[in-house]
Structures are given as structure tokens and as C-alpha cells.
Structure 1
Amino acid sequence: MNKKWLIGLLCSITLLLLFACGTSDNDNVENQTDPEAEQGDETEANGGETTVYRIGASQFVEHPSLDAAYEGFKAAIADAGLEVEYDLQSAQADQSNTATIAQNFVADNVDLIFANATPSAQSALQATSDIPIVFTSVTDAIGAGLVEAMDQPGENITGVMDMHPDAIIETVNFIDTYFSGSAVGLIYNAGEQNSVAQVDSVTAAIEGTSLSTIERTISTSAEVQQAATSLVGEADVIYIVTDNTVVSALESVVGVANDQDIPLIVGEPDSLERGGFATFGIDYYTIGYRAGEMAVEILTGERVPSEIDVEYPPEMQLYLNEAAAEEQGIEWNSDWDELAELQ
């Protein structure tokens, strides 16, 4: 009787232990954290997963105008509330580098390419027909082969120009009016299509005026000072169009203009701030911002590039630098107080 009781007691203890072990295992399973479930709960709490876009920004060279366009581009996207990772790469004014940058962006399969200046846009378009491209700081999108017409952008490319259609004509009229009979010195990189187009426009605008032109071509920024010096004694006025290579070394031209009392006309307000005397210019931050708005429409699927016309800058203004006028020996004309915005 005692033996049976002992066997029963041992069996009861064994069953209790097995039950306890089973309960412990179940508790452990129920208390384990499922990372995917936790992530799902967090995503649901945040109202859905946030899309992070990747933009490759190709900039031909670093100088204030292009830098301002890039800042405007980013500001428009930030104002739209988009999350973006940027990969900014500068070609350092070397056109072969623009091709490498564009190919890298294609290999990385970025969501959009921002092409800042004509060579960058050309290389991007050559590298891809699939990834959307938005450009700015481009002077002649049609002549550069980027688009067929302003209202006929490409299947994957559109953007904002940096040249108001009346800028060169107004600049030539200004020089002819206040520096009549001058020989106008032009320094530009013949390898930049946007610069060639502008110089051709200057030459055409000068026909029928009292002006003439003297051209100096360069291929690198290191050649700019020598080109400017070679104009001394020949040019009465120097006119620097929006050539990226020359503008990146503008201080070399400013030094010659100041030392030799030669009026220096420039293509945009940033160059005016660096020592130029006059410009019929546009705001590069503004055109960059507008390009950013186009990028937002494309990234969010609202429109595709072929549905967005290429645009000119919205406005143009005559700017004059009074300090530069004094440095360059220019006699101030009272007309300018009313005609221009003074710096």
C-alpha cells in the first residue's frame, strides 16, 4: 500500500514538472519580439513608409552662380516635403568628367539627375534615356541638342534656361549707348556650346552698331588671366558671357580690368558681386528653385519630363556695381541711377 502510494506521488510530481516546463516554453514564445511585426506597427503608426528619393547632381564647375542654382533646387524639393539623398559631383570644368559622373549615376540607378550647366546636361542625356533629367544653367537648350524646342522637351529631359532671350541684345545696346565706338573683348571656352552660342549672339547683335569685337578663346581656367592681359591695348570694354570656365577664374579678369581701367561687363549678378561693372542678369537661385519644382512633379509621378515645357528665366534686371565703376575708371552717368539696381 505504501509502495503504491509512493509510485503515485512520483508520477504526480513528474506530470507537474512537465506541465511547468511546457508553460515556460509557451511563455517564452509569446514574449519573443518579431522585428518585422514591430517595424510594421511603427510604419502603421507613422501613417505609411516614407519614400526616400536619390538624386544625382552633376555640376560642371563650382562657382557662385551654379552653387546658387543648386541651393535653389534643393530648397524647392525641401519645401515640397520630399525626403531626398543627394550625390553632388563636380566635373571641375573638365567635360570628360561630366561623362564619368553621368555614367556613375546611371550605374547607381538614381531616381533623377539634376544637371547644372550645359556640359553636365549633355553628358547626362547621352548616358541615359530612362532616368529623368532636369537641367538648369543652360543657355541654349536647343542648340546644345538637349531638346527640339522649348515646348518639345525630350522623353526624359526638361529644365530651366539661364539666359533671358533679351539679355544679350540689351547688353549690347547698353555698351553701344554709353561706350560708343568701343572694341569689345570676349573671352570664352570654345568647347562650351553655351558660350559659343552666346558669342554668336553678341556678334549678331553688334551688327549695325558702332561696336566691334575681339575674341580670345581658352580651354582651362588657368589660361584666363593671360587671355585678359592680351586684350590690353586692344579692347575698350571686356564682356564676359556666362562661360563656366572663365567665370570660375573671374578674379583674373577683374584684376586686369581694374589695373587697366577697362569697363568689365558680365553675364550675371554673381559676377557683378565679384567685381564686374554691369550686367543684365537673372537670379540663379530662382531658376534652380523652378528646376526643383519640376523635379518634384516628376518624382511624385504628377507629370513626366515630356509634359513639362523648357522655361526661360522669369525676369531680367540691369545691375550696376558703383565700386567697380570707380575701380575701372568709369565716369558715372546720372541716367544709371534710375535705370539700374545699384550695388
Structure 2
Amino acid sequence: MKGLKATKSILGGAVALALLCGGAVHAQTVKVLSIVDHPALDAIRDGVREELKAAGYDADKNLKWEYQSAQGNTGTAAQIARKFVGDNPNAIVAIATPSAQAVVAATKTVPVVYSGVTDPVAAQLVKSWSPSGTNVTGVSDKLPLDKQVTLIKRVVPNAKTVGMVYNPGEANSVVVVKELKELLAKQGLTLKEAAAPRTVDIGAAAKSLIGKVDVIYTNTDNNVVSAYEALVKVANESKIPLVAADTDSVKRGAIAALGINYLDLGHQTGKVVVRILKGEKPGAIASETSSNLELFVNTGAAQKQGVTLSPDLVKEAKTVIK
């Protein structure tokens, strides 16, 4: 009996040790790559991490978390993507289109969850919005452009020409330009484009629109958003109303935006990552979008840019900045 008790004691100790070590042995590894640091993309990152923690994946216990920004450089994004893939993590979260394209090009096996990508099909991340059958899934920030046009017309009712500063090298923006041009034409408006392939080109591109447009619209182009102050400076000096797709841009000087809550988008993305960490295949998970749109207005920016907002528009806003 004593020998049996001793054996049970040894076995019990071994099981306890195995359980204690299990957290380290089975720790999940999640790598996160963003193309650049700016408020919307940072919010996605933070939302993902918060959602993982809520699901029991804690960086202090059973989660190996690594975040890197490519600082706006696609070459750097490709290098980081290859490094991440070489580490063979349980999942890679790729924030924004250039990051996602870099990671998807680097692996056909490591699970990839994209986020903050306007059109994953046009970006060639997936073939359709249905489950991909590959190692890729994710959450899009695609906005209904008809609602964006409605907002533009509510801010500047007499607008005839809409200007848009964008990076022609970003697939998201190219898609938006094409669709926006067609949509505006149906309503008797025209689109005037101003290319800004680098962040340092934003100010000059905006200046090229002076005297040619009635309003400037900005989508979630990462170059433009990361250097938004340069655009705001031109808009304020030239009295050109500025309407955005990114609500954080309203805090930085746009008059209005009807956009996605990017922290919520991060949480939505995090839920997809959790499903993968728990054993689901990314190829069996359909790409998602968010329908949670919020209206932000900036009455101070409207005054600087020569616009009087209707009381109804201000009343409808979830957030009013003065």
C-alpha cells in the first residue's frame, strides 16, 4: 500500500508539473505587422490585444505577442513579414493592405488575419468574400461610398467638384477612386485626383487642388492619414472643406467623417484570431466587414474652412469637436 501511495504521489507530482509547464509549452504566438503608426491602425492593434486578453490569452502568461510597424515602407513590411513567417507563429495579424499583401506573399501555411483592408479581393488577399480555403481570412473596413457622398453633400451642399488626395500605389485607394468617380458622375459631380505616393507629397498634392475643387474627400489611405496635418494646413489656409472617412481625422482637423470605430474593428479582428488559436482553419472563416458607423463633426474646423454646418448634422453626430 505504501508503495502504491508513493507511486500515486509521484504520478500526481508529475501531472502537476506537466500542468504548470503546459502554459509555457503550449503558449500561443501572435505576430502583428502594421504598415505605419497612426491612430486608426493603432486602435486596431490595441483592440486585437484587448480581445485576446479577454479570451484568456495574456502576454504575461500564455501569449507571445510581437508588434512591429513598417514605418510606411513596403520594403520594410516585406522584410518583417518574412521574419515573422520564419518564426512560425500561430497567427499573423496584418494591419492595412500593404502589410497584408506582404504577409500573404510570404506564406501559404501560417494563418494570416488581415484587418483595416478596404477591398481584400482587389488587393488579391482572397478570391472572394466567401471562406478562402487558404491560410487567409480577416476583417475589412470597407465603407458604403453612397453614404460618404451623402455626407459630402450635407457638408457642402453646392459642391460640384470633389478633390481626393491619395496614394496610387495603395490598392485600397485605387479602388475607392474608381468607385467614387462613377458614383459622383451619376449625381452630376466630378472627381479631381491628386496623387501623393509618399507622405511628404501630401501638402503639395493638396495645394494642386486649390481653385479646382469645392471640397476634398479623404479615404483611409495610410499615407494621407499618417500625414493628415499637412492636408489640414492647406484646407484651412485655402478655405477648402475637408471631409474624411476616418473619424480620428476629424479630431485632427477634418470637418466631418462617417467612419468605422477602429477599436471595435480591432476587437472584431481579435475574435477571428481567437477562433484560429482555438483550432479553426482560417480558410474556413469568411472575410468580414463592420456595419458600425459613427458620425464625427468638428465645428471649429468648419469655421476655419468656411463652412456652416446644419444644426441637424451636428445633432446627429456621436462626437462633436469644437
* TM-score calculated relative to the size of structure 2: 0.89
Give the equivalent residue in structure 1 for 2:214: 236
Alignment match, 2:29: 54
- Answer whether contact 1:237 1:262 (CA < 8 A) is retained: yes
Rate the CA distance shift 1:107–1:317 in 2: closer, same or farther, 3 A: same
Q: Give the TM-score normalised by the residue count of structure 1.
A: 0.84
Relative to 1, partners in 2 of residues 1:342 and 1:294: Cα closer, same or farther, differing over 3 Å?
A: closer
- The one-letter amino acid of 1:155's match is T
Aligned residues: 305
The aligned counterpart of 2:63 is 84
Q: The residue matched to 1:335 in structure 2 has which SS?
A: helix
**Aligned counterpart, 1:43:** 17
C-alpha distance after superposition, 1:288-337 (max 9, x if no partner)? 11111111111121x11112111111321332111211221211212213
Residue 132 and residue 278 in structure 1: after superposition, are their counterparts in 2 closer, same or farther (change >3 A)? same
Asked whether the equivalents of residues 153 and 309 of structure 1 are also in contact (C-alpha less than 8 Å), the reply is yes
Aligned to 1:308: 285
1:260 to 232, 238, 247: 238
Could you tell me how far 1:152 is from its partner in structure 2? 2.7
- 1:94-243 equivalences under 5 Å are 94-164=73-143, 166=144, 168-177=145-154, 178-243=156-221
* Structure 2 Cα separation of the partners of residues 211 and 289 of structure 1: 37
Extract unaligned runs of 5+ from structure 2: 1-10
Contact 2:33 2:80 in 1 (8 A): yes
Alignment match, 1:27 = none
The secondary structure found in structure 1 opposite 2:82 is helix
Give 1:70's aligned residue.
45
Whole-angstrom CA distance in 1 between matches of 2:14 and 2:210: 71
Distance, in Å, in 2 between the alignment partners of 1:146 and 1:154 is 12
Residue pairs, 1:272-311, within 5 angstroms: 272-301=250-279, 303-311=280-288
Q: Render the CA deviation track for 1:218-256: whole Å, top value 9, x for unaligned.
A: 111011111111211112101111100111000000111
What secondary structure is seen at the aligned counterpart in 1 of 2:186?
coil
SS in 1 for 2:311: coil
Q: CA deviation at 1:49?
A: 3.7
Query: Post-superposition shift, 1:96?
Result: 1.6
Counterparts of 1:186 and 1:314, CA distance in 2: 24
CA-to-aligned-CA distance 1:50-81 (integer Å, 9 cap, x gap) = 53222121100110000000000001100001
Which segments of structure 1 move beyond 6 Å, counting only runs of 4 or more?
none
Check whether the contact 1:116–1:138 (CA below 8 A) recurs between aligned residues. yes
| Inter-partner Cα distance in structure 2 for 1:119 and 1:45 | 41
Residues 60 and 119 in structure 1, CA contact (< 8 A), matched pair in contact too: yes
